């Protein structure tokens, strides 16, 4: 875990932790070169020596960096600093869709449709770039304070052109498509199922 005031690559100063995932921690940081706040996803130290995890982390960075869309979190930088593998992303001041639903209790049809359309627009951009997210769920959708919806965490995304057939089911059990759960071929339809 990084501490407040730590620097990554002599550029990004850690401000505070924002969240944690299965293989990485996310921090709010100050980019001193461009004078702006960013989010930095750092591979957890227990995985940084594992070539398989480092490879997955790099795939996330490459997948996300190729996507530019208003409904996808922007990736600004990717790197490694003394064994720390990191991705620098747009900082979204807001909450996950999961927390938003928990907070509101029930969403109106109009709001539900608006959120779903914005998610679908982001997913469409990924699919048009031959990228299948593979883990669409409320925890991977951010809602800014202004109400903008952004898809994030391409941690297990894979290029659709790689014809991914995987014996290991990856994704979140509540939202995973039947073909993904069965370790079968996964394509764009799997993301659409998860969105539904």
Verify that 75 and 121 share a domain, yes or no. no
Verify that 109 and 161 share a domain, yes or no. yes
Verify that 82 and 117 share a domain, yes or no. no
pLDDT band for position 161 (cuts 50, 70, 90)? very low
pLDDT band for position 64 (cuts 50, 70, 90)? confident
Q: Does some domain include residue 163?
A: yes
pTM for the model stands at 0.86
Q: Does some domain include residue 103?
A: yes
Question: Of 40, 59, 89, at which residue does a domain stop?
Answer: 89
Q: Hey, is 107 helix, strand or coil?
A: coil
Verify that 173 and 156 share a domain, yes or no. yes
Question: Of 70, 89, 108, at which residue does a domain stop?
Answer: 89
pLDDT, tens digit, for every residue of 111-160? 999 999 999 999 999 999 988 888 899 999 999 999 999 999 876 665 44
Containing H/E element for 122? helix 109-128
| Selection from 42, 62, 87 nearest residue 162 by Cα | 62
Verify that 102 and 190 share a domain, yes or no. yes
Question: Of 72, 89, 106, at which residue does a domain stop?
Answer: 89
Verify that 103 and 85 share a domain, yes or no. no
Could you list the active site residues? Answer: 135
What pLDDT is recorded for position 118?
98
For residue 156, give its domain range.
94-195
Verify that 63 and 145 share a domain, yes or no. no
Verify that 99 and 191 share a domain, yes or no. yes
Percent of the chain with pLDDT over 70: 91
As for how many domains the chain has, the answer is: 2
Verify that 111 and 132 share a domain, yes or no. yes
Verify that 81 and 20 share a domain, yes or no. yes
Verify that 65 and 115 share a domain, yes or no. no
Q: Does some domain include residue 2?
A: no
Q: Hey, is 145 helix, strand or coil?
A: coil
CATH, residue 60: 3.30.200.20
pLDDT band for position 167 (cuts 50, 70, 90)? very low
E strand map for 11-161: 12-20, 24-31, 36-43, 75-81, 84-89, 94-96, 131-132, 141-144, 149-151, 158-159
Q: Does some domain include residue 1?
A: no
For residue 164, pLDDT over 60 is answered with no
pLDDT, tens digit, for every residue of 169-183? 555 678 888 888 888
Q: Does some domain include residue 63?
A: yes
């Amino acid at each position: 875990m990084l501490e407040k005031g730590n620097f990554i690559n002599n550029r990004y100063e850690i401000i505070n932790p924002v969240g944690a995932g299965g293989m990485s921690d996310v921090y709010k940081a100050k980019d001193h070169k461009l004078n702006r706040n960013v989010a930095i996803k750092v591979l957890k130290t227990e995985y940084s020596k594992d070539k398989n995890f480092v490879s997955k982390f790099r795939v996330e960075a490459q997948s996300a960096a190729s996507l530019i869309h208003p409904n996808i979190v922007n990736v600004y930088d990717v790197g490694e600093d003394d064994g720390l593998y990191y991705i620098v992303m747009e900082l979204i001041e807001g909450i996950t869709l999961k927390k938003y639903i928990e907070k509101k209790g029930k969403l109106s049809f109009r709001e539900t449709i608006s959120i779903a359309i914005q998610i679908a627009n982001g997913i469409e951009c990924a699919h048009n770039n031959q990228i299948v997210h593979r883990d669409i769920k409320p925890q991977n959708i951010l809602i800014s304070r202004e109400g903008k919806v952004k898809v994030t965490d391409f941690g297990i995304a894979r290029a659709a052109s790689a014809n991914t057939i995987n014996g290991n089911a990856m994704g979140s059990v509540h939202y995973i498509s039947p073909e993904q759960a069965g370790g079968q071929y996964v394509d764009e339809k799997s993301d659409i199922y998860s969105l539904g």
